[in-house]
Amino acid sequence: MKTLSILFALALLAPSVGAEPVRNGFDLSGASVPAEQILAGGPPRDGIPALDHPTHMAAATSAWRDEEIVLGVARDGEARAYPVAILNWHELVNDTLGGDPILVSFCPLCGTGLAFDRRIGGKTRTFGVSGLLFRSDLLMFDRESESLWSQISAEALSGPQRGERLRLVRARMMEWGAWKRAHPDTTILSPETGHRRDYGRSPYQGYATSDETYFPVKLDPRYHPKMPTLGLRIAGRAARAYPASELVQAGGSVSERFLGHRVRVGYDGDRQVFEVEAPAEIEVIEGFWFAWAAFHPSATVFRAPADD
């Protein structure tokens, strides 16, 4: 926790949020959300280094344990896994998979791992970590336009791209062993990143089980703030949440219709991973309850049937 303590101490020393609407070098005067709600997280712009030239390994040569949690992406017959142990330290990976430029993202404060197509208006962008947060969530920026993008909403909040959305690429949080079984030819992000980081240690130890959020965010008291939650969304708007506790109470999984689409959502309480079957046009977001609720306050929530 020492690393986090230093970051939050730096955040307290950041300029007052009511002052000039420029933070970490980003002009927030035209932001689509109140500038005072965009907070400095502690590190400066690029203080958390995104991986721009990632290297990969074959599954057979990887030393990661089967129970290690990875963010897996499969595209056009090619599969790749990104260990959360590495993403905790870098948050963004600018990569290419199946011939397409993708951005793999992970926000440790929200527990959200999402992948995006890096093309905007037909041009490939490269993303960095801004050091800023909105509703406790990672704000990314593309280096070409300097626009700030919300990870969870996938929308640009400021800059020339304001109001535009990134296209999500389906990504799954699961155990490395399970991902390998599903994708035998997968590659995995190499720990040889060019940065000196202890990938065997999490700088967020204990955070995922505490009821603490490090930055101000409106909490929905219906569930523990860090309750694992899977959300479904169409076009960034209509949404439905599946808290892990409700799925466990319902016997582990549920099959139902969501906006005319048949979906199945499950949760393995022992392995602490979600399972989902949904059409490609449905966006899937996994993360902590507080983060989902902060961005989707009007979303419907699956409730386990009451016992007779």
Q: Is-contact 106 91, C-beta < 8 A?
A: yes
- Three-class DSSP category at 62: coil
Residue 7 lies in a domain: no
Task: Judge whether residue 12 has pLDDT over 50.
Answer: no
**Among the three residues 173, 199, 227, which one is the final residue of a domain in this structure?**
173
Q: Are residues 167 and 284 in the same domain?
A: no
Contacts of 7 (CB under 8 A, 6+ apart): 41, 42, 43
Q: Are residues 92 and 146 in the same domain?
A: yes
Beta-carbon count within 10 A of 163 CB: 10
Residue 203 lies in a domain: no
Q: Are residues 84 and 143 in the same domain?
A: yes
Residue 167 lies in a domain: yes
Q: Are residues 69 and 136 in the same domain?
A: yes
Q: Is-contact 122 112, C-beta < 8 A?
A: no
Going from the C-alpha of 171 to that of each of 74, 174, 280, the distances in angstroms are 8, 10, 11
Task: Judge whether residue 255 has pLDDT over 90.
Answer: yes
**Among the three residues 119, 146, 173, which one is the final residue of a domain in this structure?**
173
Residue with token string 């990632």: 54
Task: Judge whether residue 5 has pLDDT over 70.
Answer: no
**Among the three residues 105, 139, 173, which one is the final residue of a domain in this structure?**
173
Note the pLDDT of residue 9: 44
Residue 28 lies in a domain: no
CA angle 216, 90, 17 (to 5 degrees): 30
- Reference 223, options 288, 276, 280; nearest CA is 288
- Three-class DSSP category at 101: strand
Domain count, the chain: 2
Q: Is-contact 68 180, C-beta < 8 A?
A: no
Note the pLDDT of residue 61: 95
Q: Are residues 165 and 227 in the same domain?
A: no
Question: What is the rounded average pLDDT of the residues 83-100?
Answer: 98
Give me the domain span that covers residue 123: 37-173
Q: Are residues 50 and 165 in the same domain?
A: yes
For 283-293, how does the pLDDT look when each residue is reduced to its tens digit (9 = 90+)?
Answer: 999 999 999 99
Note the pLDDT of residue 20: 57
For 162-194, how does the pLDDT look when each residue is reduced to its tens digit (9 = 90+)?
Answer: 999 999 999 999 999 999 999 999 999 999 999
Residue 235 lies in a domain: yes
Confidence of residue 18 (pLDDT cuts 50, 70, 90): very low
Residue 9 lies in a domain: no
Residue 67 lies in a domain: yes
Q: Is-contact 88 106, C-beta < 8 A?
A: yes
Q: Are residues 131 and 72 in the same domain?
A: yes
Q: Over pLDDT 90: what percentage of the chain? A: 90
- Three-class DSSP category at 172: strand
Terminal C-alpha separation, the chain? 45
Question: What is the rounded average pLDDT of the residues 75-80?
Answer: 96
Contacts of 144 (CB under 8 A, 6+ apart): 123, 125, 126
Q: Are residues 143 and 236 in the same domain?
A: no
- Reference 242, options 254, 251, 260, 257; nearest CA is 254
Question: What is the rounded average pLDDT of the residues 205-213?
Answer: 95
Q: Are residues 162 and 66 in the same domain?
A: yes
Note the pLDDT of residue 98: 96
Q: Are residues 155 and 249 in the same domain?
A: no
Note the pLDDT of residue 228: 98
Q: What is the mean pLDDT of the chain?
A: 93
Going from the C-alpha of 30 to that of each of 26, 139, 148, 162, the distances in angstroms are 11, 16, 11, 9
Based on its alpha-carbon atoms, the radius of gyration of the chain, rounded to whole angstroms, reads 19
For 50-64, how does the pLDDT look when each residue is reduced to its tens digit (9 = 90+)?
Answer: 999 999 999 999 999
Q: Are residues 223 and 140 in the same domain?
A: no
Q: Are residues 161 and 266 in the same domain?
A: no
Residue 273 lies in a domain: yes
Task: Judge whether residue 232 has pLDDT over 90.
Answer: yes
